[in-house]
Amino acid sequence: MPETETIVAIVDDDDGMRRSIRALLEVAGFATRCYESAEAFLADREAIDRSSVLIVDHNLGDISGLELIRIVASHPEHPAILLISAALTPQIADAAIAAGAAWASSKPVPPQDFITFVTSAPRRRDTRM
């Protein structure tokens, strides 16, 4: 169980994927918030500030996962970001890292990799340094 509360925001348009990631992380002791789109995440005005970690799918609706990463990473303090994709290419992974993600992974992500990322991710990324 984590020593301090880590809130993980999960943004994926696949309801089954969101529920699976949520269940895995909650069993491991993490609080989660789920969003079906980038728009829903951004509409929650406190989501960026209260999230320690953001797990985002690449293929979303009008706002892609990469665009969401750019938006979130533009905040001076932002959550650590993991991009997940069923069609991850080296180019997408590189673009995600360049946009501000800490890590990119292909779906399906092994359960232990989610736990490792969430427990080892910095609690907040401060880009003002």
Instruction: List, for residues 94-104, the tens digit of each pLDDT value.
Output: 999 999 999 99
pLDDT surpasses 70 at 93: yes
CATH code of 81's domain: 3.40.50.2300
**DSSP H or E stretch at residue 82:** strand 80-85
pLDDT surpasses 60 at 123: no
Cis peptide before 108 (omega within 30 of 0): yes
* Size of the chain in residues: 129
Domain span including residue 38:
7-111
Sheet of 7-11, strand order: 31-35, 7-11, 53-57, 80-85, 103-106
What tokens appear for 70 in the block? 């750019």
State the total domains in the chain. 1
pTM: 0.90
19 close to 32: Cβ distance less than 8 angstroms: no
Evaluate whether residue 61 is within a structural domain.
yes
